[in-house]
Amino acid sequence: EGRNQYEKTFGLPSDDVFQAIYSSEEEMLKFMGLMNSSWVLDGHDVVTAFDLSCFQRIIDLGGCTGALANEMARAYPASSITVFDLPEVVEAAQKHYSQEGNGVAFQSGDFFRGDIPSADLYVLARIVHDWTEEKCLALLKKIYEACKPGGGVLLIEALLFENRRGPLMVQIFSLNMLVQAEGRERSPSEYTNMLNKSGFHNVQVCRTGKSYDAILAIR
């Protein structure tokens, strides 16, 4: 049909893909376990794709279990790392995933509907690919306004080639987005264009050679 199957499958609007995922604790914990495993495997590579030691306060928006934040805390011990996620996600993360001794803080909120706390660097890991360009631009502009001058945003996504003919795994990720979400995987130039439209500049792209790549942009 050329469009997502979310509403047909779950009977819920497709504009909030996480309604069904977070409809029960069991489903939410399954999803959180998947996110946790991704960053246990690839987290170190993406947080060290660029030297982020100049950013003192880092907020991982939609940081889920804190697995990626843990990797950042290990790589940049002088920085303060905070996971910002929905209240139910924060509660489950603190209940089911060990947070002892890593120095990572948690803060509840909704980055689409509420205020975003001030920081030097915002991390969006596998967030932008979930949404339409319109929603992504609104979020990135909101982050730009909250970001301190000289600060930045780090996007962590699986990047398509510019000709969109690979990598195969990223094309499969994009098919998954078509089936169940509003978004899609994008090429480096598409992410760069969105970041520039949002006010960010000095966009740098790093292909890590692993499942996920990194894009850093500065305000």
Least confident of 50-64, 96-110, 187-201: 96-110
Which residue in the list 44, 96, 129, 201 is annotated as catalytic? 129
The neighbouring-strand residues paired with 58 are 81, 121
Measured distance CA(215)–CA(46) in Å, rounded: 9
Which residues does 124 contact at the CB level (< 8 Å), separation at least 6? 61, 62, 139, 143, 153, 154, 155, 156
Determine the pLDDT at residue 34.
83
Per residue in 70-83, pLDDT (tens digit) is: 999 999 999 999 99
**Catalytic residue flag (residue 129):** yes
Contact call for residues 154 and 205 (beta carbons, < 8 A): no
Determine the pLDDT at residue 13.
67
The stretch 49-67 carries a mean pLDDT of 96
- Give DSSP secondary structure letters for 64-94: TTSHHHHHHHHH-TTSEEEEEE-HHHHHHHH
Q: Are strands 213-218 and 201-206 parallel, antiparallel or unpaired?
A: antiparallel
- Apex CA 113: angle with CA 93 and CA 174, to 5°? 70
Map residue 146 onto helix, strand or coil.
helix
Least confident of 4-8, 14-18, 61-65, 158-162: 14-18
Least confident of 41-45, 88-92, 101-105, 198-202: 101-105
Indicate whether 123 pLDDT > 90: yes
The neighbouring-strand residues paired with 82 are 59, 105
In the block, residue with structure tokens 């000095």: 202
Report CA dihedral (107, 194, 67, 79) to the nearest 10 degrees.
Answer: -70
Indicate whether 14 pLDDT > 70: no
The stretch 63-76 carries a mean pLDDT of 95
Indicate whether 12 pLDDT > 80: no
Per residue in 150-180, pLDDT (tens digit) is: 999 999 999 999 999 999 999 999 988 888 7
Determine the pLDDT at residue 28.
82
pTM of the model: 0.91
Determine the pLDDT at residue 26.
83
For helices 188-197 and 133-146, give the axis angle rounded to 10 degrees.
50
Average pLDDT value for the chain: 91
Confidence category of residue 125, pLDDT binned at 50, 70, 90: very high
- In the sheet with 119-125, reading across from the earlier edge strand, the strands are 105-108, 80-85, 57-61, 119-125, 147-157, 213-218, 201-206
Percent of the chain with pLDDT over 70: 95
- φ and ψ at residue 84, rounded to 5 degrees: -115, 115
